[in-house]
């Protein structure tokens, strides 16, 4: 928002609602505090999440950690639902050159193989194919990782299981890569704070954020909520994937691959502590992925 837009926003009445509104905003019109009326039960994959499990998100689980999750990852229904989602998005082939169309043609056999490998701990992710794509409005490029279709299916099945566990702990002012939240929702909160006479805004962007997340610290955060050893092994195997770019292959010491299904959730998990800490200190921070807009607590 430039200076002219900021001045125009300040002259608008308090009950101003934009003509163009984000998805589902009609049911949330006027909400400018970051809270969402969309509950986890509205979007959690019911192939995995039963009513009893959803209740446990509210009342808590023994020891504060979730266990016995791996069978839900490799359940046939979950793998089938994950396959439908990955195939529906299409996308490029990974290092094995298998397309989504190829996978779909052998769907039953492929799901059977994945299920058996996950059950018997023989599943191993392949290298992530890395390509450079242009940054919008710039001559620079950024790296994009392309896992194989098989790995995308398994990561989707894994996210179906663990996303509600972590999202339940995320701060209400975190908007990126979350269900029922959008950049428009984040901007509406910023606009609301400006209309409430918050006068200082800092726009911060974390450079190469995905590539610099410390893996050990990230896994500690995962272990704080999940105790299933096989799920932890599976998550770590994706963090330890090698990267193939042209003819060079290496294993990054840090980071999560941009373009991987699992990465957005893990990136939000790593910054969740920052979200809560900033709120405790009294700062009105709004975060969309690795873009942050911390506002001064003082008003005019």
Mention every residue, 6+ apart, whose C-beta is less than 8 A from residue 51.
none
Judge whether 189 and 173 are in contact, CB under 8 Å: yes
List the single range of 30-39, 114-123, 217-226, 259-268 with lowest mean pLDDT.
30-39
Torsion (CA) 48, 52, 56, 61 in degrees, nearest 10: -90
pLDDT at position 257 is 87
pLDDT digits (tens, 9 = 90+) for 82-116: 999 999 999 999 999 999 999 999 999 999 999 99
| Average of per-residue pLDDT values in the chain | 87
**3-class SS of residue 183:** helix
pLDDT at position 13 is 42
Give 92-97's long-range contacts (Cβ < 8 A, gap of 24+): 92/129, 92/146, 93/146, 93/148, 93/149, 94/126, 94/128, 94/129, 94/146, 94/147, 94/148, 94/149, 94/151, 94/152, 95/126, 95/127, 95/128, 95/129, 95/148, 95/244, 96/126, 96/148, 96/150
Confidence of residue 4 (pLDDT cuts 50, 70, 90): very low
| pTM of this structure | 0.85
Question: Regarding predicted confidence, which is higher, 297 or 245?
Answer: 245
pLDDT at position 6 is 43
> In the chain, what percentage of residues exceed pLDDT 70?
85
Q: Does 39 score more than 70 pLDDT?
A: yes
CB atoms within 10 A of CB 69: 20
Q: Does 192 score more than 50 pLDDT?
A: yes
**3-class SS of residue 131:** strand
């Amino acid at each position: 928002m430039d200076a002219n837009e900021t001045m125009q926003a300040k002259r608008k009445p308090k009950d101003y609602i934009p003509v163009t509104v984000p998805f589902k905003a009609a049911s949330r019109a006027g909400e400018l505090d970051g809270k969402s009326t969309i509950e986890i039960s509205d979007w959690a994959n019911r192939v995995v999440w039963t009513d009893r499990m959803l209740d446990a998100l509210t009342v808590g689980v023994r020891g504060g950690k979730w266990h016995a999750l791996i069978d839900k990852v490799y359940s046939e229904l979950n793998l089938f639902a994950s396959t439908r989602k990955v195939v529906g998005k299409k996308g490029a082939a990974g290092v094995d050159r298998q397309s989504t169309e190829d996978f779909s043609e052998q769907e039953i056999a492929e799901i059977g193989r994945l299920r058996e490998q996950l059950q018997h701990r023989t599943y191993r992710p392949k290298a992530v194919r890395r390509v450079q794509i242009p940054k919008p409005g710039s001559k620079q490029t950024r790296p994009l990782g392309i896992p194989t279709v098989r790995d995308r299916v398994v990561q989707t099945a894994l996210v179906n299981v663990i996303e509600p566990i972590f999202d339940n702990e995320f701060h209400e002012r975190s908007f990126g890569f979350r269900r029922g939240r959008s950049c428009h929702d984040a901007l509406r909160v910023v606009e609301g704070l400006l209309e409430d006479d918050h006068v200082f805004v800092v726009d911060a962007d974390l450079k190469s954020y995905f590539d610099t997340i410390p893996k050990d610290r990230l896994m500690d955060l995962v272990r704080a909520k999940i105790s299933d050893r096989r799920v932890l092994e599976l998550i770590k195997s994706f963090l330890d994937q090698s990267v193939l770019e042209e003819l060079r292959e290496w294993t990054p010491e840090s980071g999560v691959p941009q373009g991987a299904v699992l990465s957005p959730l893990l990136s939000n998990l790593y910054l969740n502590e920052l979200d809560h800490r900033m709120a405790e200190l009294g700062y009105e921070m709004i975060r969309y992925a690795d873009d942050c807009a911390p506002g001064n607590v003082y008003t005019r």
